[in-house]
Amino acid sequence: MEAVLAIAIGILAGSGVYLLLRPRTFQVIMGLTLISYAVNLFIFSMGRIKVDSEPVLVPGLAATLANTADPMPQALVLTAIVIGFAMTALFLVVLLASRGLSGTDHVDGAEKKELAE
């Protein structure tokens, strides 16, 4: 299970970096989103991946302490998902406004000249 999660985090981070280096604004936004998902999965994995474990500690039972998941990374990831969604919505509004003002969606603001001219 840990290997699958590590591979998924690596693929998301690698794809995010690739998209982050593209010349179009929408691809840059999607790259930032994929990197944030990779970081969320990484933080979530720090809370010990357990199957069939109790989500909440029962008072007085010290034996179940070793079998429970840590709720702090789960709370952090939930907060990061909400903040990431709001930032993505803001980025998309800025993208639409920038494209409307400049007429292009390239990061540098200028279209590449076609080689077929």
Q: Tell the burial category of 41 from Cβ atoms under 10 Å away from its Cβ (0-12, 13-18, 19+).
A: middle
13-70 pLDDT, tens digit per residue, is 999 999 999 988 889 999 999 999 999 999 888 876 666 666 665 665 555 555 666 7
Q: Using 50, 70 and 90 to split pLDDT, how confident is the model at 115?
A: very low
Q: Which residue has the higher pLDDT, 99 or 15?
A: 15
